[in-house]
């Protein structure tokens, strides 16, 4: 009888901790979101999302931030696509082509984990150095490449963790039919793990679109919408940063508006990609 109460107590304490953590975290995140909405929603006008800034950016109370919206979409989508181009082969290589416990796979993983933790300003500075060496100006292209570098460790390691969960028996069923590794990777493993892989790509995209430091030197900032890869481009995180540091409340309000737009973009793309993944993965083996 005494033992039973002790075990029940353990259960309630554990449950208590879970609720407290959940409450604190959702509370804090909810607060941030609420601040964004309260301060940003009044600034969300049609002209905000349909026009470029008018009458000089730093003091600009007119016009909108279309330049930053388009710029951020170009930068983050471009960076994510570029990162995807390298992440898929690398994570597949780590999981399909070499034994997963191989020593150098372990080394690759550790390096990627370290890269994940490096502040993005360092990537920005690195990108800037390379730009200078190549004689390039701050441009959309330089921004995309730098963002891809920021996103790569996140995307590779998340995809790697997803692919490690691939049921070996299903993979082996494919080998049993005489499939090669590449056939198995593309026809069996990718369809089976697609929802997880989409989440991994989204994680990297979210980091990319919200990152200010890496595009600060590399993509630059401008009031115009870029028309070529060599043009400099604005971005939402930098729009938030610049406007928030102005001493005028009207401009600061627009910073919150820009942050709210950024949040909504991430939300929309996340919902869209999940929807697509669920459509494609109706055949995956549960």
99 binds other proteins (CB under 8 A): yes
* Residue 188 found at the interface with other proteins (CB under 8 A): yes
Residue of 77, 179, 203, 264 interacting with other proteins (CB under 8 A)? 179
The piece of 19-27, 132-140, 165-173, 208-216 that touches other proteins (CB under 8 A) is 165-173
Segment interacting with other proteins, rule: CB under 8 A, options 143-151, 181-189, 248-256, 259-267: 181-189
**Of 279 and 286, CB closest to other proteins:** 286
Which position among 111, 118, 165, 285 is part of the footprint of other proteins (CB under 8 A)? 285
Q: Which is nearer to other proteins, 39 or 100 (CB)?
A: 100
Select the residue interacting with other proteins from 58, 167, 248, 250 (CB under 8 A): 167
What would the DSSP string read from start to end of the chain?
A: -HHHHHHHHHHHHHHHHHHHHHHHHHHHHHHHHHHHHHHHGGG--HHHHHS-EES-STT--EE--HHHHHHHHHHHHHHHHHHHHHHHHHHHIIIIIS-TT-HHHHHHHHHHHHHHHS-HHHHHHHHHHHHHHHTPPS-HHHHHHHHHHHHHHHHHHHHHHHHHTS-HHHHHHHHHTT--HHHHIIIIIHHHHHHHHHHHHHHHHHHHHT--HHHHHHT---SSPP-STTS----HHHHHHHHHTSS-HHHHHHHHHHHHHHHHHHHHHHHHHHHHHHHHGGG---
Select from 39, 51, 126, 174 the one that contacts other proteins (CB under 8 A).
174
| 170 belongs to the binding site for other proteins (CB under 8 A) | yes
Q: Does 164 bind other proteins (CB under 8 A)?
A: no
User: Which part of the chain contacts other proteins (CB under 8 A), choosing from 32-40, 56-64, 116-124, 277-285?
Assistant: 277-285
Q: For binding to other proteins (CB under 8 A), which residues are involved?
A: 99-101, 167, 169-170, 172-180, 183, 187-188, 191-192, 281-286
């Amino acid at each position: 009888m005494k033992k039973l109460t002790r075990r029940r107590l353990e259960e309630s304490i554990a449950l208590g901790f879970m609720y407290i953590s959940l409450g604190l975290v959702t509370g804090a995140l909810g607060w941030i979101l609420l601040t964004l909405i309260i301060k940003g929603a009044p600034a969300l006008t049609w002209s905000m999302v349909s026009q470029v800034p008018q009458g000089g950016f730093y003091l600009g109370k007119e016009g909108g931030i279309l330049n930053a919206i388009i710029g951020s979409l170009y930068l983050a989508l471009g960076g994510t696509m570029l990162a995807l181009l390298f992440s898929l082969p690398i994570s597949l290589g780590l999981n399909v082509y070499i034994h997963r416990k191989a020593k150098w796979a372990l080394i690759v993983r550790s390096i990627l984990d370290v890269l994940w933790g490096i502040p993005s300003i360092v990537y920005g500075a690195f990108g800037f150095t390379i730009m200078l060496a190549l004689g390039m100006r701050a441009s959309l292209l330089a921004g995309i490449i730098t963002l891809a570098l920021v996103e790569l460790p996140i995307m590779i390691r998340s995809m790697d963790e997803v692919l490690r969960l691939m049921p070996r028996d299903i993979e082996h069923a494919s080998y049993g039919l005489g499939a090669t590794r590449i056939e198995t990777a593309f026809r069996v493993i990718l369809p089976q793990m697609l929802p997880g892989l989409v989440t991994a790509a989204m994680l990297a995209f979210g980091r990319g679109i919200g990152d200010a430091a890496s595009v600060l030197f590399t993509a630059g900032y401008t009031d115009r919408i870029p028309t070529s890869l060599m043009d400099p481009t604005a971005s939402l995180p930098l729009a938030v940063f610049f406007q928030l540091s102005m001493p005028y409340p009207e401009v600061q309000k627009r910073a919150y508006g820009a942050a709210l737009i950024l949040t909504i973009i991430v939300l929309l793309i996340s919902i869209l990609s999940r929807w697509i993944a669920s459509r494609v993965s109706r055949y995956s083996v549960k």
